[in-house]
Amino acid sequence: MKDTHKQIERQRYDRKAEPFLERNATPELGAAGVPVELRPPYEEFERRIGALVKPRDVVLDIGAGMGAFSTSARGEGRFLIAADISPVSLRVARQRAAEAGVTVCAVCADAERLPFRDRSVDLVTAAGALYCLDLDAVSREMRRVLRPDGAWVIVDSLDDSPVYRLNRFIGYMRHRRTALALRNMPRWSAIEGLREGFGNVVIAYHGVLAFLLPILKPLLGAARAGDVVRAADRGLRWLRRWAFKVVVVAQHPR
């Protein structure tokens, strides 16, 4: 059943990616391509990558899709790999990277069963991919492919807030989301459970009040609305399990 849902996702992402193959310009890469009011978790994601990556590292982006974050670790002789189950998305990812002057090796593969040797990757990144995966299975695979002291950096959504869960259900009813996205979005307990398999895990929660952005944005503008939500994250840490986004750094034990 899980593989059936993955095939549905693959077909969906193939269809979404096809129009971009015919365009001369694709959306901006990285956090810069995210609306300013929603940007903070993606900016932290990129900062964490920048703090961990070293010259000549092998960097693997799993669930890469159209490569929005596959070039986040570019530079200094690093070897960048984008892995996804959607071949059309990977074609767009290579195209976007080439437009940015970066070489990305595209590998069509399931992140739970990667075609890489044990301890062959220095850094793994994942942006918005966890709902397509079994978290326990992909965590084991990350520990297998990562070298000692390697790290897995994640930015993703959480499914604990009733507001965000309702919004996803509405999206599903309007055929904007799939059943897998509705049922398999990671929960707070699953993210915290990553601490059991990795030597060191740092977790940051973002957007506790992000559901207010549709109200705040027309009143304050996008940037100031984002500032209000960011200030709420600092002052309402006790509500972190209802956050909209989470950024995780999970480091492989020696």
Query: What pLDDT is attached to residue 1?
Result: 46
CA–CA distance from 143 to each of 67, 114, 197, 200, 243 (Å)?
23, 12, 8, 12, 26
Higher pLDDT, 101 or 175: 101
Query: 143-198, pLDDT tens digit by residue?
Result: 999 999 899 999 999 999 999 999 888 988 988 888 888 889 999 999 999 999 89
More confident residue, 181 or 31: 31
pLDDT of residue 147: 95
Question: What tens digit of pLDDT does each residue of 47-65 get?
Answer: 999 999 999 999 999 999 9
Contact 37, 213 (CB under 8 A): yes
Q: Tell me what the pLDDT averaged over the chain comes to.
A: 93
Q: Which two tokens stand for residue 226?
A: 């984002």
- Is pLDDT above 90 for 80? yes
User: 173-180 — which CB contacts under 8 Å span 24+ positions?
Assistant: 178/5, 178/8, 178/9, 178/12, 179/5, 179/8, 180/5, 180/6, 180/8, 180/9, 180/131, 180/132
pLDDT of residue 138: 96
Given pLDDT bands bounded at 50, 70 and 90, which one contains residue 24? low
Q: What is the pLDDT of residue 179?
A: 87
Give the whole-number percent of the chain exceeding pLDDT 70: 97
**Mean pLDDT of all residues in 115-137:** 96
Q: pLDDT category, 25, cuts 50, 70, 90?
A: low
Please, what sign has the CA dihedral across residues 236, 241, 242, 248?
positive
Q: What is the pLDDT of residue 68?
A: 96
CATH class, domain 2-251, is: alpha beta
| Helices 222-235 and 213-220, axial angle in degrees (round to 10) | 130
Domain edges within the chain: 2-251
